[in-house]
Amino acid sequence: MVELSRRAVTVGAASAAFVFATDATAEEVVKIGAIYPLSGNSASAGNYEKMAMELGADLVNKGDPELAKILPLAKGGGLSGLKGAKIQMVFADNQGTPAAGQNQTLRLITEEKVAAVIGAYQSGITLTASAVAEKYGIPFLNPESVAANLTERGFKWFFRVTPVAADFARAYSAFLKEQKAAGRKVDSIALVHENTEYGNSVASVIASAFAKDGLNISMKVAYSANSTDVQPQVLQLKEKNPDAAIFISYTSDAILYAKTMKEQNWKPAILIADDGGFNDPAFVKAMGSVCEGLVSRSVFAAGKPGSVAAICDALYKKKTGGDGLDDVSARALQGFLVMADAINRAGSTDPAKIQAALRATDLKPDQLVAGYDGVKFDDKGQNILASTLVTQLRNSQYVSVWPKSRATHQLILPYKGW
């Protein structure tokens, strides 16, 4: 094609032919499938993740001069390893159900012919969606699902960038023991969790970590995230009145709990929310004023101006019209960048080459949007350098309070609420 077009142009227009030729390759695109909850109860989080990945694609395709100084991937003009091929994101809606997640992944692979898949927010859906990719031998990168069993299936095509439940449990345990050492009462802890893959697995990992560390979980409450009412559970908590409570929830149930706790006038001295719904910007905007002092975790803190995190945060704010990166969207953007970096190094859309490039990934902390110690996968596909910060909600904004070395604010306890 290139030869033909060169012949077609007149003598002396070699430079024009060159432009023509690069244009022809630049037209080529690398399709990346992304499977997220764009409808259903988690649609809010899913749409923030979608915007984060669109920003990621823009960074690769169009570039950002400031970011390009630290992150070569963001110099624009597509993937340099693939002669400037542009990245095209193909989004599919997992509708909040494992079955839809599975079907949509199948569609992305067989009909859209994507080179790789990113997804799928809910652990239960990542479980089914990644199984399809494994069967077809397509790399599946998961930026944010934390259920432990995802990397215990012996999969060859599955890569997970996020820290997992065990990392969080370790952080909470160390955090609570530190509070105990400082003289606070942490004798009874309630564990309240939604009862799908996410809530169940995180709860059981926390329970076993706490048991090992001698922290007493005095009550466990499992509930369905689609509940229309949580008053009885809050009344149960009020009756037992534990010193600390840990919630593992999605957005809709997080809102109901925050509202109902205020209605029934109950608050523990330490309230920890395991990220999830409590970190959804929609939750923070709606309920922030009645959850002052809520302790959570996050991989994201905007950090110093000029850092990758701060630049991306500003660009993301521009894209969303005000909402900055949060724990979920930062992990989505990070996941996308890891995938883009791997495809770029693979220099090909061949799944096996992308898989090999993902295995060879070695990103340093200063190149990351998320606050990890780096990105490097073990044999199971887990990022062994993933880590987390403990944050606290202050005036409707999460600030990092632990560990002390990375804290921007002093922790304030007891939990104030409203």
Partner 1 sequence: MTTTLLLQVVVSGLLLGAVYALFSSGLSLIWGMMNVVNFAHGEFVMLGMYTAVVVWTALGGGPWASVPIAAILIATLGVLAYFLLVRHIMRGPMLAQILGTFGLALFLRYGALWVFGANFKTLPDDLVGHSFILGGIRFEGSRVLAGVVGLVVTVLLHLLLTRTSIGSRMLAVSEDATAAQLMGIRPQRMQALAWALAGAATGIAGALIATFFYTSPTVGETLAIVAFVTVALGGFGSVMGALVAGLLIGVVESLSAFLIGPVYKDVIVYAAFVLVLWFRPQGLMGTN
Residues that bind partner 1 (CB under 8 A): 38-41, 43-44, 46-47, 195, 221-224, 226-233, 235-236, 238-239, 251-252, 255-256, 259, 262-265, 280-283, 286-287, 290
* Longest CA–CA separation in the chain, Å: 89
CA atoms in the 13 A half-sphere facing the CB of 162: 31
User: Per-residue DSSP letters for 75-124?
Assistant: GSSSBGGGTTBEEEEEEEE-TT-HHHHHHHHHHHHHTS--SEEEE-SSHH
Instruction: Give the residue with the Cβ less far from partner 1, 238 or 353.
Output: 238
In the complex, the smallest distance separating the C-beta of residue 315 from partner 1, rounded to whole angstroms, is 20
In the complex, the smallest distance separating the C-beta of residue 169 from partner 1, rounded to whole angstroms, is 22
Decide: 74 and 60 in contact? Cβ < 8 Å.
Answer: yes
Q: Alpha helix (H) ranges present in 347-417?
A: 351-359
User: What element of type H or E holds 245?
Assistant: strand 244-248
In the complex, the smallest distance separating the C-beta of residue 40 from partner 1, rounded to whole angstroms, is 6
Instruction: Give the residue with the Cβ less far from partner 1, 96 or 371.
Output: 96
Instruction: Give the residue with the Cβ less far from partner 1, 263 or 378.
Output: 263
Instruction: Give the residue with the Cβ less far from partner 1, 174 or 290.
Output: 290
In the complex, the smallest distance separating the C-beta of residue 104 from partner 1, rounded to whole angstroms, is 17
Instruction: Give the residue with the Cβ less far from partner 1, 46 or 56.
Output: 46
Distances in whole angstroms, Cα of residue 399 to Cα of each of 143, 257, 316: 22, 22, 18
In the complex, the smallest distance separating the C-beta of residue 303 from partner 1, rounded to whole angstroms, is 26
Query: Residue 61 corresponds to which amino acid?
Result: N
Assess whether the previous peptide bond of 414 is cis (omega < 30° from 0).
yes
Instruction: Give the residue with the Cβ less far from partner 1, 92 or 337.
Output: 92
Helix (H, G, I), strand (E, B) or coil at 38: coil
In the complex, the smallest distance separating the C-beta of residue 91 from partner 1, rounded to whole angstroms, is 13
Assess whether the previous peptide bond of 120 is cis (omega < 30° from 0).
yes
In the complex, the smallest distance separating the C-beta of residue 195 from partner 1, rounded to whole angstroms, is 5
Six-digit token string for 23 = 């244009």
User: Per-residue DSSP letters for 278-308?
Assistant: GG-HHHHHHHGGG-BT-EEEES----STTSH
Instruction: Give the residue with the Cβ less far from partner 1, 49 or 167.
Output: 49
Instruction: Give the residue with the Cβ less far from partner 1, 190 or 385.
Output: 190
Q: Give dist(CA 194, CA 200) in Å, integer.
A: 7
In the complex, the smallest distance separating the C-beta of residue 375 from partner 1, rounded to whole angstroms, is 29
In the complex, the smallest distance separating the C-beta of residue 335 from partner 1, rounded to whole angstroms, is 20
Sign of CA dihedral 316, 322, 327, 332: negative
Decide: 132 and 107 in contact? Cβ < 8 Å.
Answer: no
Distances in whole angstroms, Cα of residue 2 to Cα of each of 8, 15, 26, 77, 348: 10, 13, 13, 20, 20
In the complex, the smallest distance separating the C-beta of residue 278 from partner 1, rounded to whole angstroms, is 12
Instruction: Give the residue with the Cβ less far from partner 1, 242 or 371.
Output: 242
Instruction: Give the residue with the Cβ less far from partner 1, 5 or 265.
Output: 265
